[in-house]
Amino acid sequence: MAVSMEQIKLLREKTNAGVLNCKNALNESNGDIDKAVDILRKKGMSVAAKKSTRTAKQGCVESYIHPGGKIGVLVEINCETDFVARNEHFKQLVKDIAMHIAATNPLYLKKEDVPEEVIDKEKEIFRALAKGKPEHILEKMLAGKINKFCQQVCLLEQAFVKDDKITIKDYVTSVIAKVGENILIKRFTCYHLGIVDK
């Protein structure tokens, strides 16, 4: 089946992938746009996996102050070179991440950062709510609840506020595929007027 320019254009708008990559993905998916998006994402993820071992010590610290001045964010995002730190895709990523943090107020960067006692407390609360369920069912439900909890409180697991079909991790991966360098969200802080962290 021949791939039309219209299909390539549509896929490019959805993914920002190159023309040739879009054409190849459409050929591979027999013209199915959604499957082509998945193919491009998977290829982007494999690119990201290859780059994830490389050192990222360049980048920038970005600030975001929400209109009204009651919420502020500082985020450090690293890449491998100063050249990429000045790249428009990287700059947009950094701005988007800072704005996303202001909107969602994540507590942790990734699942591994959530303290064991926090996970245990969530399990305890859910066990109390699910009293009377058989143990084997309860264990499966607990795994699902903890996963859902992490999607709410961990930045990389959260659905991106500007496109809830992807996570922040997916968004970072797509930019890694575009710029060809490892990118890491190093740390962030969110300030809310009048609220002091303990």
Alpha helix positions (H), the chain: 5-15, 19-28, 33-51, 82-85, 88-104, 116-129, 135-153, 168-179
CA nearest neighbour of 98 among 75, 117, 81: 75
Q: Is residue 97 part of a domain?
A: yes
Q: Indicate if 98 and 177 belong to the same structural domain.
A: yes
Instruction: Look at the chain and report how many structural domains it folds into.
Output: 3
Q: Indicate if 76 and 139 belong to the same structural domain.
A: no
Q: Indicate if 79 and 141 belong to the same structural domain.
A: no
Q: Indicate if 32 and 95 belong to the same structural domain.
A: no
Q: Is residue 139 part of a domain?
A: yes
Q: Indicate if 46 and 134 belong to the same structural domain.
A: no
Q: Indicate if 161 and 141 belong to the same structural domain.
A: no
Give the domain extent around 120.
115-152
Q: Indicate if 90 and 143 belong to the same structural domain.
A: no
Q: Is residue 197 part of a domain?
A: no
pLDDT along the chain (198 residues), means of 10: 79 70 84 82 62 72 91 94 91 96 94 91 82 77 88 94 92 88 92 74
Q: Indicate if 148 and 166 belong to the same structural domain.
A: no
State how far the Cα of 81 lies from the Cα of 100, in Å rounded to an integer: 24
Checking DSSP bridges between strand 184-192 and strand 163-167, what pairing results, if any?
Answer: unpaired
pLDDT for the residue 198: 45
Q: Indicate if 43 and 63 belong to the same structural domain.
A: no
Using CA atoms, how far residue 2 sits from 10, 39, 180, in Å, is: 15, 18, 30
Neighbours of 179 (CB within 10 A): 21
The CATH number assigned to the domain holding 42 equals 1.10.8.10
pLDDT for the residue 137: 79
**Entry pTM:** 0.69
Q: Is residue 198 part of a domain?
A: no
Q: Indicate if 11 and 45 belong to the same structural domain.
A: yes
Determine whether 92 is exposed, middle or buried from the number of CB atoms within 10 Å of its CB (0-12, 13-18, 19+).
exposed
Neighbours of 82 (CB within 10 A): 10
At residue 130, what is the residue type? A
Q: Indicate if 85 and 182 belong to the same structural domain.
A: yes
Q: Indicate if 43 and 95 belong to the same structural domain.
A: no
